[in-house]
Structure 1
C-alpha cells in the first residue's frame, strides 16, 4: 500500500500535525502606508547563507494580498505572556494593532515590542502550497531578547513555556 492509496481528511491531518508544538509569530508588513499583521504558526528557518526564513499563510487570509514579492516583512516570535496578542492578530475585522506597542525596523515594518525574537526583511518568493501560500523571506536584520521564553502553540491552543522539572 502506498500513500496514494490512503485518504487523509483535513481533520485527521490537523489532529496529527497539532501534536507538534511550535512557536507563535506575528507577521507584519506595510501596505498603502498602513500596518498589516496576522498570527502565523507555520514559520521556520530556511537558509543561513543567505539568511532566509519561510512562512505559510492561509489563502483565505485577508492579509495575504498585502504579502507580495518585494514587500517588507517583519516576523515577531511571541514570548510567554503574549498569548493575547496571538489571539488579537487572528481576529478579522478589528484594528489588530490597537493597544499594541511596536518597534520599527527595516523599511518601517512593525515588530511586536517584548517579542522573544524578531526578523525584518523582504519577501523573495511566493509559492502555491495547497490551501496556503508559502513565502520565503530574505532576512536583513534579526535579534533576540535573551531573557524571553517563547510562547508555544499546540493542538489549537497557546501555552506559556514550562520549564523541565527534572
Structure 2
C-alpha cells in the first residue's frame, strides 16, 4: 500500500493530462484552456452511485455551462465501457479513461481506501475545479455521489438546482 496521495489545494497548478474518451479520441486539459473545467473522478461506470453522480452533472450541465464551467469525468474504465455508460445515460460531456490511474494519482484521487474492513488501492471519489489559467480553484476529496453536484454548485456560488 502507498501512503495517502498528495492532494491538490487552491492555487496549485492543475496536472496536465491527455486521455482517451468514450470514442477513443484524445482529450487534454489544454483543450479547456481559457475555460473553467470541473474534473471529477469516479470509481466505475454504470454502478449506482456513479450513475447518480453522472446524471446529476448531466442535468446541471446547461446551468454550469452558462456560469462558464465545462465538465469532464475520469475513471479507470476502458473506453468501450465508457461508451456504453454514455449511451445508456445520455451523457453529453466527455468521460475519460485513466486505466493506469496516472492522472487520478496526479490529482490526489488514487490511494488507500477502506471498505467493510478491507484496505486496498482505489479511486477516491473527488472533484477538482480548474480555473481558466490552469490553477486549482476548488479541490474536494471523498465526496458523496448523491448530492455532490448540488454541494459543488453552492461552493461555486451558483444557485442549487
Normalised by the length of structure 1, the TM-score is: 0.25
Structure possessing the higher radius of gyration over alpha carbons: 1
More strand by share: 1
Normalised by the length of structure 2, the TM-score is: 0.26
Greater relative contact order (CA < 8 Å, ≥ 6 in sequence) = 2
